[in-house]
Amino acid sequence: MSEIEQLRAENVLLRAQVAELLARLNTNSTNSSKPSSTDSPFHTKPKPPLPPSGRKPGGQFGHKPNNREMLAPTEGEIYNCLLAQCQHCKADLDALTVLPGRESVHQVLEIVSQAVVKNYVMAQHKCVKCGKKSRAPLPLGVPPTASGPHLQAIITAFIGKYNLSRVDTKDAISQMFGVDLSVGAIHNVTPRAAQAVAPAMEEVLQALIAAATKHCDGFCVQLPAQLVWA
Protein backbone atom coordinates (compact mmCIF):
# COMPACT_ATOMS: atom_id res chain seq x y z
CA MET A 1 0.00 0.00 0.00
CA SER A 2 1.34 3.38 -1.01
CA GLU A 3 1.69 6.29 1.40
CA ILE A 4 -1.24 8.13 -0.24
CA GLU A 5 -3.53 5.14 0.13
CA GLN A 6 -2.48 4.75 3.76
CA LEU A 7 -3.26 8.42 4.48
CA ARG A 8 -6.64 8.07 2.79
CA ALA A 9 -7.47 5.04 4.92
CA GLU A 10 -6.45 6.89 8.09
CA ASN A 11 -8.56 9.87 7.00
CA VAL A 12 -11.63 7.66 6.62
CA LEU A 13 -11.02 6.11 10.05
CA LEU A 14 -10.56 9.50 11.70
CA ARG A 15 -13.71 10.87 10.10
CA ALA A 16 -15.69 7.92 11.44
CA GLN A 17 -14.29 8.47 14.93
CA VAL A 18 -15.12 12.19 14.82
CA ALA A 19 -18.67 11.43 13.69
CA GLU A 20 -19.09 8.96 16.54
CA LEU A 21 -17.76 11.45 19.12
CA LEU A 22 -20.03 14.21 17.81
CA ALA A 23 -23.01 11.88 18.04
CA ARG A 24 -22.16 11.12 21.67
CA LEU A 25 -21.68 14.80 22.43
CA ASN A 26 -25.07 15.74 20.99
CA THR A 27 -27.04 13.11 22.88
CA ASN A 28 -29.49 14.25 25.54
CA SER A 29 -32.66 13.06 27.22
CA THR A 30 -34.75 13.77 24.12
CA ASN A 31 -32.77 11.62 21.65
CA SER A 32 -31.35 8.90 23.92
CA SER A 33 -31.99 6.97 27.12
CA LYS A 34 -30.06 9.49 29.21
CA PRO A 35 -32.04 10.99 32.15
CA SER A 36 -33.06 14.63 32.02
CA SER A 37 -30.79 15.39 34.99
CA THR A 38 -27.76 14.92 32.71
CA ASP A 39 -28.88 17.61 30.26
CA SER A 40 -26.82 20.77 30.24
CA PRO A 41 -28.77 23.84 31.44
CA PHE A 42 -27.00 25.94 28.80
CA HIS A 43 -28.21 23.95 25.78
CA THR A 44 -31.98 23.88 25.94
CA LYS A 45 -34.13 23.03 22.98
CA PRO A 46 -36.11 26.10 21.88
CA LYS A 47 -39.85 25.68 22.06
CA PRO A 48 -41.76 26.10 18.81
CA PRO A 49 -43.81 29.31 18.67
CA LEU A 50 -47.47 28.96 19.48
CA PRO A 51 -49.91 29.54 16.63
CA PRO A 52 -51.75 32.87 16.82
CA SER A 53 -55.06 32.61 18.66
CA GLY A 54 -56.64 35.62 16.99
CA ARG A 55 -57.43 37.26 20.33
CA LYS A 56 -56.13 40.62 21.45
CA PRO A 57 -53.43 40.62 24.15
CA GLY A 58 -54.44 41.30 27.75
CA GLY A 59 -57.55 40.44 29.71
CA GLN A 60 -60.39 39.05 27.65
CA PHE A 61 -63.95 40.35 27.75
CA GLY A 62 -65.99 38.73 30.51
CA HIS A 63 -63.01 37.29 32.41
CA LYS A 64 -63.07 37.20 36.21
CA PRO A 65 -61.43 40.35 37.59
CA ASN A 66 -58.28 39.97 39.64
CA ASN A 67 -58.10 43.13 41.71
CA ARG A 68 -55.52 43.97 44.35
CA GLU A 69 -56.88 43.29 47.82
CA MET A 70 -57.14 46.33 50.07
CA LEU A 71 -55.15 45.99 53.28
CA ALA A 72 -55.98 47.38 56.70
CA PRO A 73 -54.20 50.73 57.07
CA THR A 74 -51.50 51.19 59.68
CA GLU A 75 -52.61 53.13 62.72
CA GLY A 76 -52.19 56.85 62.17
CA GLU A 77 -51.65 56.47 58.41
CA ILE A 78 -55.02 57.67 57.09
CA TYR A 79 -54.86 60.98 55.23
CA ASN A 80 -58.04 62.80 54.16
CA CYS A 81 -57.69 64.56 50.80
CA LEU A 82 -59.97 67.58 50.35
CA LEU A 83 -60.40 70.09 47.55
CA ALA A 84 -59.42 73.72 48.03
CA GLN A 85 -61.89 74.86 45.36
CA CYS A 86 -64.39 73.48 42.85
CA GLN A 87 -62.61 71.93 39.87
CA HIS A 88 -65.37 73.12 37.52
CA CYS A 89 -66.41 76.68 38.48
CA LYS A 90 -63.45 77.41 40.81
CA ALA A 91 -65.78 78.18 43.73
CA ASP A 92 -64.17 78.47 47.17
CA LEU A 93 -64.11 75.75 49.82
CA ASP A 94 -67.19 77.19 51.53
CA ALA A 95 -69.35 76.18 48.54
CA LEU A 96 -68.19 72.53 48.62
CA THR A 97 -69.96 69.74 50.51
CA VAL A 98 -68.39 66.33 51.17
CA LEU A 99 -70.61 63.48 49.94
CA PRO A 100 -70.58 60.66 52.55
CA GLY A 101 -69.86 57.19 51.19
CA ARG A 102 -68.64 58.48 47.82
CA GLU A 103 -64.95 58.56 48.68
CA SER A 104 -62.32 56.67 46.67
CA VAL A 105 -59.34 55.19 48.46
CA HIS A 106 -55.85 55.14 46.99
CA GLN A 107 -53.65 52.77 48.99
CA VAL A 108 -49.85 52.96 49.01
CA LEU A 109 -47.79 50.12 50.50
CA GLU A 110 -44.42 51.25 51.82
CA ILE A 111 -41.63 49.55 53.73
CA VAL A 112 -39.81 51.70 56.25
CA SER A 113 -36.16 50.64 56.34
CA GLN A 114 -34.89 52.02 59.62
CA ALA A 115 -32.32 50.41 61.85
CA VAL A 116 -33.00 50.35 65.58
CA VAL A 117 -29.92 50.73 67.78
CA LYS A 118 -30.37 49.42 71.32
CA ASN A 119 -27.91 50.17 74.12
CA TYR A 120 -27.88 47.80 77.08
CA VAL A 121 -25.98 49.54 79.87
CA MET A 122 -24.64 46.85 82.20
CA ALA A 123 -23.91 48.48 85.52
CA GLN A 124 -20.95 47.47 87.63
CA HIS A 125 -21.67 46.94 91.32
CA LYS A 126 -19.40 46.78 94.33
CA CYS A 127 -20.40 44.69 97.29
CA VAL A 128 -20.08 46.51 100.60
CA LYS A 129 -19.59 43.19 102.42
CA CYS A 130 -16.85 41.49 100.38
CA GLY A 131 -15.58 44.51 98.49
CA LYS A 132 -15.65 42.66 95.14
CA LYS A 133 -17.07 44.07 91.91
CA SER A 134 -19.67 42.44 89.68
CA ARG A 135 -21.08 43.30 86.25
CA ALA A 136 -24.83 43.05 85.57
CA PRO A 137 -25.65 40.45 82.89
CA LEU A 138 -27.64 41.06 79.73
CA PRO A 139 -31.42 40.46 79.92
CA LEU A 140 -32.66 37.04 78.91
CA GLY A 141 -32.99 36.74 75.13
CA VAL A 142 -30.56 39.53 74.25
CA PRO A 143 -27.84 38.15 71.92
CA PRO A 144 -24.23 38.61 73.05
CA THR A 145 -23.32 39.77 69.55
CA ALA A 146 -23.71 43.15 67.86
CA SER A 147 -26.38 41.80 65.47
CA GLY A 148 -29.93 41.30 66.64
CA PRO A 149 -32.10 38.32 65.60
CA HIS A 150 -33.83 40.16 62.75
CA LEU A 151 -30.56 41.49 61.31
CA GLN A 152 -29.04 38.01 61.55
CA ALA A 153 -32.06 36.59 59.71
CA ILE A 154 -31.67 39.17 56.92
CA ILE A 155 -27.95 38.44 56.57
CA THR A 156 -28.61 34.69 56.49
CA ALA A 157 -31.33 35.12 53.84
CA PHE A 158 -29.09 37.26 51.63
CA ILE A 159 -26.23 34.74 51.79
CA GLY A 160 -28.06 31.41 52.02
CA LYS A 161 -31.25 32.04 50.04
CA TYR A 162 -30.27 34.68 47.49
CA ASN A 163 -26.62 33.58 47.14
CA LEU A 164 -25.08 37.01 47.74
CA SER A 165 -21.43 37.31 48.65
CA ARG A 166 -20.34 38.77 51.96
CA VAL A 167 -19.33 42.00 50.25
CA ASP A 168 -22.64 42.28 48.35
CA THR A 169 -24.53 41.56 51.57
CA LYS A 170 -22.58 44.33 53.31
CA ASP A 171 -23.45 46.78 50.51
CA ALA A 172 -27.13 45.76 50.45
CA ILE A 173 -27.56 46.25 54.20
CA SER A 174 -25.77 49.59 54.03
CA GLN A 175 -27.97 50.84 51.18
CA MET A 176 -31.27 49.46 52.49
CA PHE A 177 -30.95 50.13 56.22
CA GLY A 178 -28.14 52.66 56.54
CA VAL A 179 -26.05 50.30 58.69
CA ASP A 180 -22.34 49.87 57.99
CA LEU A 181 -21.11 46.42 58.98
CA SER A 182 -17.73 44.87 58.36
CA VAL A 183 -17.36 41.81 56.16
CA GLY A 184 -16.01 39.94 59.19
CA ALA A 185 -19.11 40.75 61.24
CA ILE A 186 -21.33 39.45 58.43
CA HIS A 187 -19.21 36.32 58.05
CA ASN A 188 -19.50 35.57 61.80
CA VAL A 189 -23.30 35.47 61.52
CA THR A 190 -23.39 32.44 59.18
CA PRO A 191 -21.97 29.81 61.58
CA ARG A 192 -24.32 30.99 64.34
CA ALA A 193 -27.26 30.74 61.94
CA ALA A 194 -26.16 27.26 60.85
CA GLN A 195 -25.96 26.19 64.48
CA ALA A 196 -29.42 27.60 65.18
CA VAL A 197 -31.10 25.70 62.32
CA ALA A 198 -29.07 22.49 62.80
CA PRO A 199 -31.84 20.64 64.74
CA ALA A 200 -34.42 21.47 62.07
CA MET A 201 -32.03 20.46 59.27
CA GLU A 202 -31.34 17.14 61.00
CA GLU A 203 -35.08 16.51 61.35
CA VAL A 204 -35.59 17.19 57.63
CA LEU A 205 -32.65 14.93 56.73
CA GLN A 206 -33.98 12.03 58.77
CA ALA A 207 -37.44 12.45 57.24
CA LEU A 208 -35.93 12.33 53.74
CA ILE A 209 -33.90 9.23 54.56
CA ALA A 210 -36.96 7.47 55.95
CA ALA A 211 -39.24 8.48 53.05
CA ALA A 212 -39.96 5.75 50.51
CA THR A 213 -40.22 8.27 47.66
CA LYS A 214 -37.86 11.25 47.60
CA HIS A 215 -39.71 13.30 44.93
CA CYS A 216 -36.47 14.83 43.70
CA ASP A 217 -34.19 14.73 40.69
CA GLY A 218 -30.66 15.76 39.92
CA PHE A 219 -29.87 19.43 39.39
CA CYS A 220 -26.85 21.52 38.60
CA VAL A 221 -25.14 24.34 40.47
CA GLN A 222 -22.95 26.84 38.61
CA LEU A 223 -19.81 27.52 40.64
CA PRO A 224 -17.21 30.11 39.60
CA ALA A 225 -14.91 27.50 38.06
CA GLN A 226 -17.15 24.58 37.17
CA LEU A 227 -20.66 23.20 36.76
CA VAL A 228 -21.46 20.78 39.58
CA TRP A 229 -24.24 18.20 39.37
CA ALA A 230 -25.99 17.28 42.60
- pLDDT tens, 161-178? 999 999 999 999 999 988
Establish if 172 belongs to a structural domain.
Answer: yes
Q: What helix, strand, coil percent values describe the chain, rounded to 5?
A: 35, 5, 60
What is the predicted pLDDT for the residue at 43?
65
Closest CA to 156 of 132, 188, 122: 188
Number of domains in the chain: 1
> How many CB atoms are closer than 10 A to CB 151?
21
Establish if 199 belongs to a structural domain.
Answer: yes
Establish if 109 belongs to a structural domain.
Answer: no
Establish if 120 belongs to a structural domain.
Answer: no
What is the predicted pLDDT for the residue at 213?
83
Tell me the whole-structure pTM to 2 decimals.
0.56
Establish if 14 belongs to a structural domain.
Answer: no
- pLDDT tens, 2-31? 888 888 888 889 999 998 888 877 787 777
In order, the DSSP letters of 152-164 are HHHHHIIIIIS--
What is the predicted pLDDT for the residue at 113?
72
Cβ-proximal residues to 218 (8 Å cutoff; 6+ apart), any chain? 35, 37, 38, 229, 230
Establish if 19 belongs to a structural domain.
Answer: no
What is the predicted pLDDT for the residue at 21?
87
Alpha helices in the chain (DSSP H): 3-25, 149-156, 166-177, 183-210
Residue 195's domain comprises 148-207
Establish if 216 belongs to a structural domain.
Answer: no
What is the predicted pLDDT for the residue at 173?
92
Q: Does the structure show a pLDDT above 80 at 132? A: yes
Is residue 157 within 8 Å of residue 139, measured between CB atoms? no
Establish if 171 belongs to a structural domain.
Answer: yes
